[in-house]
A and B are shown apart, each in its own frame.
Chain A
Amino acid sequence: MSSLINQEIYKLCHKKTVQFTPLVLFLAMLVVGIITKNGSDNRFYIEAGYAGFQWITIILIIECASMVAMEFQYGTIKHLIYESNNRMKIYLSKLLTMFLYDVLLHIFTLVFTIVIKYLTVGTNVSFSQNYLYHASLFQNLFTNTLVDFLGSLIIVSSVFMMASLMNSSAIAIAVGIGFIFIGEGLSSALISALIKKIPLIKWNPFNMLNIANQWSNPDYFSTTHLTQTQLINGNILYTLIFIVMSFLFFRKKRV
């Protein structure tokens, strides 16, 4: 298993897209930092990691989809299977590697936010000043990073599931990005139309994507109809469901 994880990390580190990710992420966040530095809502953008979390989502979708689908596209899955003789080990090594990459991306975003804050607004906005939940701005940023990480797990697991169903990483990426961008709107439309008739509709998986939004803006409760704790539990539950389902698809996938 450790040799499979090492192979996955090796492949990931040798991809050009992954090598340039920190630079692209930093530049994208810096642009947001420069545009918003004279605005009145600096604290919101700092707490939201200068939109870095949104970029992370797209990066994760691309890498997750390609990590699974490329093995079938290039035929390299055959080597992995006869080498390990166990599809579950292959699947878990990919999942663990992607979770590690997810952690790393969130650490990058946290560090880049601190750097960009000093580059753009300097000491005019202090990390120690009070913000939401009677906590300091830095505590809010840190907690938001953790909440976004939790929310990203459902994305990682759902994209793994889609990639296990498809042979082309391009299709898995397209569906994954569609899932994220249309999902929140779709959930909101479904809830507002059906919440009175079907109260369970608020537990639809797309609604779970609002976890980070609701953390940054508690007014989102009117959209999600779920408390923050319910969203956390829902995210964990759906992540587990998607992990199990994607393994079942991965195990049955024809080589």
Chain B
Amino acid sequence: MNDFLKVKHLNMKIGKRKILKDINFSCRKGHITGLIGPNGAGKTTIMKCILGLYPYHKASIILNGTDIKSSNILNVGIGALIENPSIYPFLTGTEHLVMYAKDKNCIEDIVQALKMQSFINKKSKDYSLGMKQKLGIAIALLDNPQLIILDEPMNGLDPSSTYLLRNLLLKLAKQGITILISSHILSELEKIIDDVVMINNGKVILNVSKNKLEQQSQSTLFLSTNHNDKALKVLLEQGFKAQESNGMIKAFNISSSNLNELLAVIINNDIRLLGLEHKENGLEDTLLKLIESENN
């Protein structure tokens, strides 16, 4: 449909170890897709395969309608930051951008967007980790790429730089640029992504839009009542998962479908509700649960 990048049946072995097992997913044009999973799951390997850094067999990676394996010339510009930024210590930040950019006019805008003016003319050997990371991101954004692949771009960035990057990526996605991003900082990632691809042990374990994930996700409700003991008893009788914790009742797996039912149980038993707190299960909880169930 609107798929800009399609990965089909991607398998990969290093030695005898199978790193990727039949990976299938796609990234829609103008969407930010989060590639998440534990360390060693295969996220970077997938990104390297898309970029042609690793050879792969019997798979197809289709970029803007063209199988990149059968074509030596990519029909779209790709910008990427994989593992560490591609930086030569003897060049300044500006020299890197001038060297890599085909369109030199975009350099100034990128430097300003990432607020790199204070260090861009210093030799990159003197950069901090965050500065190097910013330069790596700036290199990935050169020449208006149609696909941007970012592997852990928030590594080493301070909160204000992370905020800057988040807004920049959202702006780029609005302009129709497709972004594939991986990060272990899931709280940050879930603020920007449209779709989620979860990887564990070289397999895709979840591939959904974030909206769908949010609809499916269950949350925890913290209740404070005038009769906590009674409230806990009736909830357990009605089949809810609940426990008392720090003077409150903690009710688990609450979704939009059973929230009203829970409240009705409390009210119908003449229990007065004193307080209510709702905690949404985030991407992190979902990932942890899925990995746990996979490993079991």
Chain A residues engaging chain B, CB cutoff 8 angstroms: 3, 7, 10-11, 14-16, 70, 74-76, 78-79, 81-83, 85-86, 255
Q: A74-B87, A76-B86, A78-B86 are in contact. Are A255 and B99 (CB under 8 A)?
A: no
Which residues of chain B have C-beta atoms less than 8 A from A16's C-beta?
90
Q: Does B82 sit within 8 A of A, measured CB to CB? A: yes
Decide: B51 and A81 in contact? CB cutoff 8 A. yes
Alpha-carbon distance A10/B100, docked complex (angstroms): 10
CB neighbours (8 Å) of B88 from chain A are 11, 70, 74, 76
Q: Which residues of B are found within 8 Å of A75, using beta-carbon distances?
A: 83-86
B166 within 8 A of A: no
Provide the B106-129 mask, 1 if CB < 8 A to any CB of A, else 0: 000000000000000000000000
How far apart are A15's CB and chain B's nearest CB, in angstroms? 6
B-side contacts of A11, CB under 8 Å? 88, 91, 99
List the one stretch of B71-79, B153-161, B239-247 in contact with chain A: B71-79
The residue on A at minimum CB distance from B102 is: A3
**Nearest Cβ distance between residue A35 and chain B, in whole angstroms?**
34
Instruction: Indicate whether A14 sits within 8 Å of B83 (C-beta atoms), given known contacts A82-B52, A85-B72.
Output: no
Q: Which residues on the A side are within 8 Å of B48 (C-beta)?
A: 78, 255
Nearest CB in chain B: distance from A71 CB, A:
9
SS class of chain A's interface: helix, strand, loop or mixed?
A: helix
Q: Could you give 10 example pairs across A and B, Cβ below 8 Å? A: A3-B102, A11-B88, A14-B90, A14-B91, A78-B83, A81-B51, A82-B51, A82-B52, A85-B74, A255-B54
Which of B48, B86, B95, B102 counts the most chain A CB atoms within 10 A? Answer: B86
Query: Considering only CB atoms and an 8 Å cut-off, how many residues of chain B contact the other chain?
Result: 27
Query: Are A82 and B87 interface neighbours, CB within 8 A?
Result: no
Instruction: Please state if B83 and A81 are interface contacts (CB–CB under 8 Å).
Output: no
Does the CB pair A85–B90 fall under 8 Å?
A: no
Find chain A residues with CB under 8 A from B95 CB. 10, 14
B53 close to A10 (CB less than 8 A): no
Closest to B87 in A: A74
B189 at interface (Cβ–Cβ under 8 A)?
Answer: no
Minimum CB–CB distance for A150 against chain B, Å: 31
Q: Are B86 and A74 in contact (CB under 8 A)?
A: yes
Judged by a CB distance under 8 angstroms, whether B139 is at the interface is yes
Tell yes or no: B89 within 8 A of A by CB. yes
Closest CB in chain B relative to A48 CB, distance in Å = 33
Closest Cβ of chain A to B148, distance in Å, is 12
Q: From A16, which residue of chain B is reached at the shortest CB distance?
A: B90
Q: In residues 54-94 of chain B, which contact A (Cβ within 8 Å)?
A: 54, 68, 72-74, 78, 80, 82-91
7 pairs of A and B residues whose beta carbons are closest in the complex: A79-B86, A82-B51, A76-B86, A255-B53, A10-B99, A75-B84, A78-B82
| Shortest beta-carbon distance from B239 to chain A in Å | 54
The answer to whether residues A7 and B53 also contact, given A15-B90, A78-B86, A85-B73 and a CB cut-off of 8 A, is: no
Q: Which residues of B contact A83 (CB under 8 A)?
A: 100
0/1 interface trace, chain B 250-271, chain A, CB 8 Å (1 if under): 0000000000000000000000
Question: When the two chains form their complex, are residues A86 and B51 in contact, meaning their CB atoms are under 8 A apart?
Answer: no
For B99, the chain A residues whose CB sits under 8 A away are 7, 10-11
User: A78–B100 contact, CB under 8 A?
Assistant: no
- Extra contacts besides A7-B100, A78-B82, A79-B100 (8): CB < 8 Å: A10-B99, A70-B88, A75-B84, A76-B87, A76-B88, A78-B48, A82-B78, A255-B53
Q: Which residues of B contact A15 (CB under 8 A)?
A: 90
Residues of A close to B90: CB separation below 8 A: 14-16
Contacts of B87 in A (CB 8 A): 74, 76
The residues of B that contact A70 with a CB separation of less than 8 Å are 88
| Cα(A7)–Cα(B95), bound, Å | 11
B52 A81 Cβ-Cβ under 8 A: yes
Q: Determine the chain B residues whose CB is within 8 A of the CB of A3 once the complex forms.
A: 102
Taking CB atoms, residues of chain B closer than 8 Å to A81 are: 51-53
B54→A79 contact, CB < 8 A: no
Across the interface, which residues of B come within 8 angstroms of A255, CB to CB? 48, 53-54
Contacts of B85 in A (CB 8 A): 75
